[in-house]
DNA sequence: CATTTACTTAGCTCATCGGTTAAATAACCT
DNA sequence: AGGTTATTTAACCGATGAGCTAAGTAAATG
């Protein structure tokens, strides 16, 4: 019984070899041989890893003569990011819209009031770092 | 030999029960009993899942009388998000620089109307993080 | 056609994982 | 103290996962 897509994807990402393969592929499409080079591991092992990555939707594979070039496939990454988004507010303080609005209001206010509010402004800027929606 | 932190975290996320637990915890801190309720599963099983989540740095646990309240812990989420960031350009079109510049230009153009002094800053941040609200 | 190159499949081992039940621990409540 | 409630630990089991070697497939090349 196959796992749900998100589970397969996370499972695929839970292996350092596979993450290293993805990191290499982020630099561009390449062959299995090329991908295998950095690892002290048999070729079949790499082949399995690629199968796992493919099944997880993290890579796709083409055919060029005897080579099977691999490349990053976006969709599963996107899904992981989407899932992670449900929790973003826990670490990205400025993610929350209310927070964002508040910060903005403070900024507006601080923009009028000069020097003694500097500290507050700096705090605000730090919180705002990473705020991407609004 | 324990896995590297990122591997443990991804491994922890690769289970639907554990992701459901996290989803519940996103609504707020709660007890093991409460967390176990939705699942057709023994309590020890849940206890194990929580141990995995804790070891993965995804939750932390307190002590209140006989309860061990669980809550989301931000750090590992953050790390996952950070790792994912290396690949964001593959699915988030507005992440890449050219696109970002384009967005900025558009924003500048559209800036005739709205009365925000902080506008420019916000656009810039958006470009940096590469995420815009669609 | 035979060989080389690039991979994949098959079959094995061993460790880990997700689940179980039964028993242990811990704190509260008569 | 004795019991109830909340949770963990122990011991086990079947399935899966990551690695191996050896053999199989597929396409270019001598």
CATH code linked to domain B5-82: 1.10.10.10
Q: What angle do CA A62, A63, A67 make, to 5 degrees?
A: 110
B72 — contact with chain A (CB < 8 Å)? Answer: yes
Tokens of A27: 């630099």
| Residue numbers of chain B with a pLDDT score lower than 70 | 1-2, 97, 99-100, 110-134
C-alpha A20 chain-centroid distance: 14
Give the helix/strand (H/E) hosting A71: strand A70-72
Query: What residue ranges do the domains of chain A occupy?
Result: 5-85, 89-128
Q: How high is the pLDDT of residue B95?
A: 77
- Round to a whole number and report the distance in Å from the CA of B48 to the C1' of C13: 27
Searching chain B, which residue's CA lies closest to the CA of residue A89? Answer: B74
The answer to whether the Cβ–Cβ distance between A13 and B10 falls below 8 Å is: yes
**With 70 as the cut, is the pLDDT of residue A114 above it?**
no
- pLDDT of A11-66, one tens digit each? 999 999 999 999 999 999 999 999 999 999 999 999 999 999 999 999 999 999 99
Q: How high is the pLDDT of residue B125?
A: 38
C-alpha B51 chain-centroid distance: 19
Q: How high is the pLDDT of residue B114?
A: 56
Q: How high is the pLDDT of residue A112?
A: 63
What is the band of A5 on the pLDDT scale with cuts at 50, 70, 90? Answer: very high
CATH code 1.10.10.10 for A5-85: yes
Closest partner residue to B125 among A22, A92, A131, by Cβ?
A131
d(CA B104, CA A93): 24
3-state secondary structure of B68: coil
């Amino acid at each position: 019984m196959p796992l749900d897509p998100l589970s397969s994807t996370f499972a695929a990402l839970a292996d350092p070899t596979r993450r290293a393969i993805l990191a290499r592929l982020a630099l561009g499409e390449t062959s299995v041989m090329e991908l295998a080079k950095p690892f002290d591991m048999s070729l079949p092992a790499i082949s399995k890893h690629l199968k796992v990555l493919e099944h997880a939707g993290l890579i796709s594979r083409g055919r060029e003569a005897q080579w099977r070039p691999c490349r990053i496939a976006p969709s599963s990454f996107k899904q992981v990011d989407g899932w992670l988004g449900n929790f973003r507010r826990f670490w990205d303080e400025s993610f929350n819209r209310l927070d964002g609005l508040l910060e903005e209001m403070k900024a507006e206010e601080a923009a009028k009031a000069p020097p003694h509010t500097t500290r507050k402004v700096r705090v605000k800027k730090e919180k705002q770092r990473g705020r991407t929606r609004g």
